[in-house]
Amino acid sequence: MIVARLSLSWLAASAAVVALLALPSIATAQSGPVVNRIKSGGAIVIAHRKSSVPFSYLDGNKKPVGYALDLCLKLAETVRSKLGAKGEGGIELQMVTPANRIAMIAEGKADMECGSTTNNKERREKVAFTVPHFIAGARLLVRANSKATVLEDLKGKTVVSTKGTTPLKAVDSANKERLMGLKILEAPDHARAVEMVEIGEADAFVMDDVLLYGLAANRPNPKALKAVGKFLTTEPLAIMLPKNDPQFKRLVDDEMKRLIRSREIYAFYDKWFAQPIPPNNMALNLPVSYLLRDFWKYPTDVVPF
């Protein structure tokens, strides 16, 4: 089973870097733009999302909330404390989209992107990532009366995914490799993609399964939708950071690892995946997967993709 093989490979990769983590870091002796700004009294800018339920989204009062956002706020406060930052107003929030989130970090317009972003090789050329806070897989969201159970059942039909995401690339590759004749549409955000399935503009929405469950649970009629299919991808979701500030990254990484090793992160997880969440006060009832639990045994930002 692919998930089992990935679990073992991740554990091996994690164990391989444990020795490296004990070595002194030359890069951490240098301060970069974020660290210098914080030391000078400037704010940490946290990028959040509009509809990445339950990671980062707007609740019924249009307030940014979510699992990844809570983690980012905790990380930001710890970084400010360790750097001796004083005064209020040290954290600012900036909404981003799937299309512009990487550029916002790469161009220095935000310091941490707190959403559902996959750490992969292509993105690491522009940005850095801390330790994954979730591991997901892309599946299909279809209408409840759909007979589709796997991607192949949708040959010749219309599917949608969100612009600038890895599931969009995955379904495009599968379409070309398997000659499926799919019509692939790009939605500007997750909420619009779900709506397209609901009203029949698309037969399926391809996205990380956890997002599909969260999005469906918060629709007017959750029972009208269902998630189906095998994993098209395996997605280690992590907070994005700038590449040009190794000391800032080291501070964030250290706190993420502390949260994991102390098991404090499980309280954050339980709040958003086991308890009722806004805006409809419905629980996702998603326990920590064995893959994520195994990965957290040796927390690292190194992923095999």
Domain check: are 6 and 122 in the same one? yes
Mean pLDDT along residues 273-283: 92
Q: Answer whether residue 301 is part of any domain.
A: no
Q: Answer whether residue 183 is part of any domain.
A: yes
Using the 3D structure, point to which of 228, 252, 278 is the last residue of a domain.
228
Cα–Cα distance, 295 to 13 (Å, whole number): 10
Q: Is the pLDDT of residue 30 over 70?
A: no
Q: Is the pLDDT of residue 305 over 80?
A: no
Which of 181, 177, 232, 185 is closest to 204 using CA atoms?
185
Cα–Cα distance, 217 to 226 (Å, whole number): 10
Mean pLDDT along residues 212-240: 91
Domain check: are 116 and 248 in the same one? yes
DSSP 62: S
Using the 3D structure, point to which of 203, 228, 253 is the last residue of a domain.
228
Q: Answer whether residue 198 is part of any domain.
A: yes
Domain check: are 130 and 142 in the same one? no
Which of 91, 112, 101, 70 is closest to 251 using CA atoms?
112
- pLDDT at residue number 290: 83
- Bridge partners (DSSP) of residue 15 are none
Helices (runs of H) and strands (runs of E) counted in the chain: 11, 15
Q: Is the pLDDT of residue 173 over 70?
A: yes
Lowest mean pLDDT of 18-22, 127-131, 176-180, 214-218, name the range. 18-22
Count how many domains the chain has: 2
Q: Answer whether residue 200 is part of any domain.
A: yes
Domain check: are 42 and 168 in the same one? no
For the chain, the first-to-last Cα distance in angstroms comes to 18
Domain check: are 126 and 143 in the same one? no
Q: Answer whether residue 300 is part of any domain.
A: no
Percentage with pLDDT > 70 across the chain = 89
Q: Is the pLDDT of residue 17 over 60?
A: no
Percentage with pLDDT > 90 across the chain = 73
- pLDDT at residue number 15: 45
Domain check: are 64 and 194 in the same one? no
Q: What is the CATH number of the domain that holds 71?
A: 3.40.190.10
Domain check: are 116 and 166 in the same one? no
Cβ atoms within 10 A of the Cβ of 61, count?
A: 8
Q: Is the pLDDT of residue 141 over 80?
A: yes
Q: Answer whether residue 302 is part of any domain.
A: no
Domain check: are 188 and 223 in the same one? yes
CB 85 within 8 A of CB 102: no
Mean pLDDT along residues 198-207: 97
Domain check: are 43 and 164 in the same one? no
Domain check: are 111 and 257 in the same one? yes
Instruction: Categorize the per-residue pLDDT at 304 as very low, low, confident or very high, splitting at 50, 70 and 90.
Output: confident
Joined tokens for residue 11: 């554990």
Cα–Cα distance, 253 to 246 (Å, whole number): 10
Domain check: are 151 and 223 in the same one? yes
Q: Answer whether residue 305 is part of any domain.
A: no
Cα–Cα distance, 155 to 180 (Å, whole number): 5
Mean pLDDT along residues 290-303: 92
Q: At what angle do helices 265-273 and 246-261 cross, to 10 degrees?
A: 80
Using the 3D structure, point to which of 190, 211, 228 is the last residue of a domain.
228
Structural domain for 80, as ranges: 2-135+235-295
Domain check: are 13 and 116 in the same one? yes
Q: Is the pLDDT of residue 19 over 50?
A: no
pLDDT in tens, 63-95: 999 999 999 999 999 999 999 987 666 999 999
Q: Is the pLDDT of residue 7 over 70?
A: no
**pTM, two decimal places:** 0.77
Q: Answer whether residue 246 is part of any domain.
A: yes
